[in-house]
Amino acid sequence: MSELNSPLFPPITPSRHGMLAVDELHTIYWEEVGNPAGIPVIFLHGGPGAGLSPQHRRFFDPQQYRVILFDQRGAGKSLPLGECRRNTTQLLIEDIERLRVQAGIDQWLVFGGSWGSTLALAYGEAHPQRCLGFVLRGIFLCTQREVDWFLHGARWFHPEIHEEFIAHIPEAERGDLLQAYLARIMDPDPDVHLPAVRAWSRFEGRRVFLLPQPDEASSDALDLGVGRLEAHYMANLGFFTEEQLLRQIDRIAHLPAVIVQGRYDVICPPVTAWQLHQAWPGSVLKMVADAGHGAMEYGISQALVQATEQFKRQRRFD
């Protein structure tokens, strides 16, 4: 997406940032941008394990919003990188609350995409009194059917990518791809886990955008965070009970929400966004006709910025 026609706000550097020790094992990186007296918002990145990007700061008017962003446990600049011990959704929710208290914020807008939408819903249902509303993108509820689709659905649209993915696993183990990859990804030997996390990350990354994108140079740090934490959370179905996020939607159903979904999202198919919208009568569903999963696809970015702009004016979505 060219900067000349980007719907995002201009690049901005953090006004504050730091590291917060959340337990004896994990220390998380956080940053703040925007107006200290503005509308508070928490940004929740995807993956899990993908970490922050400077682009994530740009969905919000810096004159009107106070934006808190952080790398979740095991991701980005948080330490230790790729650590799955003491890494559950419930503990991530506790981390969000620690950041809220540290920042002196009573209530905030909750903004998250992909896995970030999962975490946003889980946080909201645990602490509805702390939420002003929700901006969600590329909905993922971490159910068994969604995990199965992530691993196997690619063969219907991207058979060559799926074939490359399964080629890393001996044929005798392909009956349970997740466990086969998990065993390799969690192996302490870099000669074993690095090829596995690279394959996992490439499998996902090549399906994010509707239109083909130039291959971007990845990094072992990003691949390790994404590969380990995605496999870890998928293997545990997000540490949720069956259909938990939909069953408990009544806890936040009184709050405003906009759901932005790419029509051709093959990572998190639109049916999940539709199910969430149907369960949440007051929510607004924005189906972007010419987009896949990527937050930086023009139509997705435009809809997300429109949502934050509307919320700052009206504290609701139309």
Residues assigned a catalytic role: 114, 265, 293
Q: If DSSP codes are grouped into helix, strand and coil, which group holds residue 158?
A: coil
Q: If DSSP codes are grouped into helix, strand and coil, which group holds residue 295?
A: coil
CA dist 133 and 212 (Å) reads 34
Under 8 Å CB-to-CB from 142, ≥6 apart: which residues? Answer: 115, 118, 233, 234, 237, 238, 240, 245
Axis-axis angle for helices 177-185, 190-205 (nearest 10)? 130
CA dist 262 and 158 (Å) reads 17
List Cα–Cα distances, 177 to 122, 125, 171, 283, in angstroms.
27, 32, 10, 36
Q: In this structure, are residues 64 and 39 in contact, taking their beta carbons and an 8 Å threshold?
A: yes
What would the DSSP string read from start to end of 166-213?
A: HTTS-GGGGGGHHHHHHHHHT-S-HHHHHHHHHHHHHHHHTTSSSS--
Q: If DSSP codes are grouped into helix, strand and coil, which group holds residue 280?
A: coil
Cα 97–Cα 224–Cα 237 angle in degrees, nearest 5? 55
